[in-house]
Structure 1
């Protein structure tokens, strides 16, 4: 009876860690991009923040997917006055599942977190 409870605690801990990492990544990347002075700096900041989040929360860099969208649609993203939405997606592999016949991919939990940030209407105007 104790073994399943211990496994559940370990699995839920791993899921919670990845959920916090995805949420933190989405929030910090949205802020970093929205406050960047231009598009090149925004891209550099997003990559730097994503790299630090992946390292901090022990995520697999190959499984992390980043999407940045702007509303209203159309034009470059990010742009002045737009609402920037950053979505971070990843997968949590359950502990002790072997990578035989793709079992590790089948026994993984998808995690997704989004954050929205308003970009200044003066963004990019230097």
Structure 2
């Protein structure tokens, strides 16, 4: 007994209507992770730019201040504006201001001010179940240095 080959018309009838379904399923499976990745990277980049800008501007504000109290006030003002501008969680922000070298106080004449700002970025759409929102964070950190004038004096 001889088998008959399926005709071209029969084969085409078997595939009718599946292209739209394949496009929808394939599009959702591929598109949703790509969109999530783009949104997540955008948020991380925004926080990275905010942290970098904070360290640079705080170092500059402290180094150009006229007194220690003025340096503290300027640093706080700069940090407040950058937290609002870049939408950074203020509680996750860690700021360290120190002087490099022989300086006993910071800022001091001729010292180099080092400012390190660190933060952690929460990933979007991570539920606060079982501490997942705390575990799903990306750390960003930036350091900046600025030289204080050797003619600087407090007060």
| Larger Rg, first or second structure (1 or 2) | 2
TM-score (norm 1): 0.96
Aligned residue pairs, count: 126
- 2:104 is aligned to 75
- Picking from 66, 78, 89, the partner of 2:118 is 89
- 2:34 is aligned to 5
Residues 17/51 of structure 1: CA separation in 2 closer, same or farther (3 Å cut): same
- 1:40 is aligned to 69
1:119 matched to 2:148? The reply is yes
Residues 108/125 of structure 1: CA separation in 2 closer, same or farther (3 Å cut): closer
CA contact (8 A) 1:39 1:124 kept: no
CA contact (8 A) 1:26 1:86 kept: yes
Dislocated runs of 4+, deviation >6 Å = none
Counting strand residues as a fraction of each chain, which structure ranks higher? 1
1:30 matched to 2:54? The reply is no
| Aligned mates of 2:138, 2:154 — CA distance in 1 | 42
Q: What's the Cα RMSD here?
A: 1.0
Shift of 1:124: 2.1
Please state whether the residue corresponding to 1:120 is helix, strand or coil.
Answer: coil
- 1:61 is aligned to 90
Unaligned runs of 5+ in 2: 1-29
Higher relative contact order (Cα pairs below 8 Å, separated by 6+ residues):
1
Please state whether the residue corresponding to 2:153 is helix, strand or coil.
Answer: coil
TM-score (norm 2): 0.79
CA contact (8 A) 1:86 1:116 kept: yes
